[in-house]
Amino acid sequence: MSGKIKHTPTNEVHVLRADGKTGCGCDPRKNSSHWIKVGSGSKVTCDKNGCK
Ligand SMILES: [Zn+2]
């Protein structure tokens, strides 16, 4: 399942890949309290390769 996920300490929205990592290669499962799933209509604000 893929979608979008927000890193709450930075307020950045990232792409969430089917493998569970963000498009830019972070693993939200390592600090799951820092990440919340957001709706597909949310704008991706991460500008790293893989998310933008
Ligand atoms: Zn990202």
Neighbouring residues of 31: CB distance < 8 A, sequence distance ≥ 6: none
pLDDT tens over the chain, length 52 residues = 579 999 999 999 999 999 999 999 999 999 999 999 999 899 999 999 999 9
Q: Residues 35, 30, 46, CA angle at the centre, nearest 5°?
A: 45
- Please report the pLDDT score of residue 1 as a whole number: 54
Q: 24: exposed, middle or buried (C-beta count within 10 Å: 0-12, 13-18, 19+)?
A: middle
Distance from the alpha carbon of residue 11 to the mean position of ligand 1, in angstroms: 11
pLDDT at 51: 96
How many A from CA of 21 to the centre of ligand 1?
A: 9
Report how far ligand 1's centroid is from the alpha carbon of 42 (Å): 14
Calpha distance 4→10 (Å, rounded): 15
User: Whole-structure pTM over 0.85, yes or no?
Assistant: yes
pLDDT at 2: 74
Q: How far is the CA of 39 from the centre of ligand 1 (A)?
A: 16
Q: Where are the alpha helices (DSSP H) in the chain?
A: none
Q: What is the whole-number distance in angstroms between the Cα of residue 38 and the centre of ligand 1? A: 14
